[in-house]
A and B are shown apart, each in its own frame.
Chain A
């Protein structure tokens, strides 16, 4: 019986002629004497021969011959593999635009800024003083939210730059990312309730969006969960998470700058 178990364990290697000499000797001897193992092994070998009868038609000759011709135009559209950016900001700045274009560009940027501030952000932060004056949304909450956004942003950037099709999940240390995501998910409810009370609804919504995405990351399979990662990346893009984070960070920076200026003005007033 023990010999049968040992023999069965060698089936796999025997099928592919990978047995070493001592195992091979034992295996062949046992097969000669044990009809049950001999029958099992024979059936497995025959199954293998049978499934190998699966047809494998020749590929389409035209496709094979033209594959490179089909690929080449698409490669031109691709970025060169060794470079990360084809766009050189320095060169662009050196380019001399005609005066009217400069003016139009500046006006456009200004209009977009106003539009984002008024419409996209809704009522949130229209009065930045709210952040420090309402008594609920105190400095600690601001600092915590800023940290939360920054940590989430770094984590999501790492995930977005990871291509599961061509890279191993080990390169981004998925278990570590899952752990951080879980930590951030655990913090979200406190921040959300604080932000809700402080009437920062847009910021609260952003934290909610982040919570959903971070929860998805925390629930990824520990190994290559290619589909899961792709789904999360789609979610990040479709919700415009990075744009929202960047705008919130800009607003927070602006607020800090204003507060600092106010303090400086007060100091000067006192001196006067």
Chain B
């Protein structure tokens, strides 16, 4: 029995101290996953709170088939999907912003002396990565973020999203191929 399983068993009986230990242990990962999926600090904070409240309320439903952390991340992903007032998504979808990106892309194509380090500093590359990620489907984006930013293993993602291993790998690879196409104007010499 790992530490989480023991704490869950105790917390099930209403022991808030045990639950506080679980919160303490997993809060950063839950926050980061929510942040990676929403790209909004405020939303990630709201979602983190919501996730732990839901988890506490539903501890009786946790059957221990998977790791507690996997169950928690599953709640996080679902909470992000159903989070209606996602400001960052709306902002990224605004026409003006996308047009700004297009102008920037054409500018980059004409410019062979791009310095990526400088671009990172200026925040342009960040915006461009965000725009490229927005073009992925929700499933592709979720799997890609979980694998490459939250650094979960493919097996863990399979458990969390309840998808087939092949599907998870395909979604991640498709996402990477799309991103490659979107970010193709960054010349290979430049990074």
A residues apposed to B, CB below 8 Å: 11-12, 15-16, 42-44, 46-57, 59-60, 63-64, 67-68, 70-72, 74-75, 78-84, 163-168, 170, 223-224, 226-227, 230
Contact = CB atoms under 8 A, between A and B. Distances in A.
B22 to A, nearest CB: 10
B27 interface: yes
Given A60-B45, A67-B48, A50 B53 contact: no
Leading 9 A-B pairs by shortest Cβ distance: A166-B58, A81-B59, A80-B14, A47-B180, A12-B173, A165-B78, A54-B129, A82-B12, A166-B61
B148 A51 contact: yes
Nearest to B76: A165
Contacts of A12: 169, 172-173
A110 B188 CA distance: 81
A82 B13 contact: yes
Interface string B33-60: 0011000010011001100111111111
Contacts of B13: 80, 82
A46 B140 CA distance: 19
Contact of A53 (B44, B125, B180, B184): B125
Nearest to B23: A68
- Per DSSP, chain B at the interface is helix
B129 A166 contact: no
A74 B53 contact: yes
B113 interface: no
Given A51-B183, A163-B54, 9 more contacts: A16-B154, A44-B177, A47-B176, A49-B191, A50-B116, A54-B133, A55-B126, A75-B56, A226-B81
A167 B162 CA distance: 11
Given A53-B125, A67-B49, A166-B58, A75 B19 contact: yes
B179 A81 contact: no
Nearest to B129: A54
A55 B122 CA distance: 12
B28 A166 contact: no
B138 to A, nearest CB: 11
B3 interface: no
A11 to B, nearest CB: 7
Contact of A56 (B20, B36, B62, B154): B36
A15 B75 CA distance: 29
Contacts of B56: 71, 75, 78, 81
B111 interface: no
A46 B179 contact: no
A46 B35 contact: no
B82 A230 contact: yes
B10 to A, nearest CB: 11
A223 B148 contact: no
Contact of A50 (B45, B79, B191): B191
B179 A51 contact: yes
B45 A164 contact: no
Contacts of A63: 45
A12 B49 CA distance: 35
A168 B81 CA distance: 16
B32 A166 contact: no
A81 B60 contact: yes
A75 B53 contact: yes
A43 B132 contact: no
Nearest to B184: A43
Contact of B180 (A44, A224, A227): A44
Contacts of A15: 176
